Amino acid sequence: MTRRVLPYRVPAEDVVSAETWRLVVEDGEVPLPEAMPDWDYQMDLSLRRTVRVDLERARRQSGLPDDTPLVLSAVWTATGSNLSGPAQQIPMPAYADGIAEFHFRLRGADLGGLLLLDTALLLAERRVDARPSTPRRAGSVLWSDRQTLRLQGDAPQFPMAVIDFARTSFPDDAAWHLQISGGLDSATMGSLLLLVNERNSTTANAFQKASKPGPVDRIVLSAVYADAARIMVEHALNQDDFTEDTDFPEGSLGATLLNLVEQLFPGQSITDIRLRRQQSPALFASDLQAAVKIFEV
């Protein structure tokens, strides 16, 4: 394990004993997997973890007084949404061994891509009388680790909402609508929104059961994915500045669209794909249908 060299003393790694993160599911708890390919933005994540700290050794080896306030902190970061935030902070006792039971829920709408879970033992307060070799600033890291969870695979993932299309400008009987707004440099999470018509019970039910879909649900989800991929690809090809040489910011709409096009049409240049669509749109539609493997359930 690579360890950062900090400008102050820190304790040995073994002063902290951290269990793996656990995912709370309907039937109990399971160890956090490496990936959740069936995850979608309607699926919140409930997470638990137990961390034990030998506080006497942690303070002594860091050169800290016995009563120095310490805190264990968990922070999450989602690469797909470019969002992050504190999940939970647990103050450590002054003299007893520290046992922290993390338990929190993350909103699916805030997540996407790779979920990073960082746990750290921190100095809780600034020390004005600290020696130069010891931690002094509030938030100084004495120990940390990171665990990751991949929340999306090859399929494009974006926020969605179930609404009544009769209250909108969309056709009352349409099943879904993918809304794309903003430029290619805009954040993906703020640029894409899948709207599902609550009046279409077949489609609405399929998304409600997305984590455990039945045969009909899988067909509906496949059709929505194929249509969303088509809309996204066509939107990308309509932009003159959409090329493989453009350096789109990480997490941007342009980067998301470029990744999708590269997955669906590996080894093909954007220029060739754009020309094929212009010269033979019907054949291109069939190419795209084959690329997304529609109805392969």
The whole-number average pLDDT for the span 183-202 is 88
pLDDT score of 129? 79
Distance CA 198, CA 178 (A): 15
Average pLDDT across the chain, whole number: 87
What value does the mean pLDDT take over residues 91-100?
82
Q: 13-150 has which CATH code?
A: 2.60.40
**Domain ranges within the chain, ordered by starting residue:** 13-150, 160-291
pLDDT reading at 96 higher than 70 = no
pLDDT score of 232: 95
Over residues 158-162, the mean pLDDT reads 77
**CB within 8 Å of 152: residues ≥ 6 apart:** 37, 39, 80, 112, 113
Closest CA to 297 of 246, 231, 224, 204: 224
In the structure, what pLDDT confidence band is assigned to residue 191 with cuts at 50, 70 and 90?
confident
pLDDT at 155: 44
Half-sphere exposure of 219 (CA within 13 A, CB side): 3
- pLDDT for 154 beyond 50: no
Q: What distance in Å separates the CA atoms of residue 48 and residue 24, rounded to the nearest whole number?
A: 7
- Distance (Å, whole) CA 234 – CA 213: 28
Q: What is the mean pLDDT of residues 193-202?
A: 92
pTM above 0.75, yes or no: no
SS (H, E, C) 138-175: CCCEEEEEEEEEECCCCCCCCCEEEECHHHCCCCCCCC
More confident residue, 80 or 169: 169
Alpha-carbon distance of 52 to 72, in angstroms, equals 10
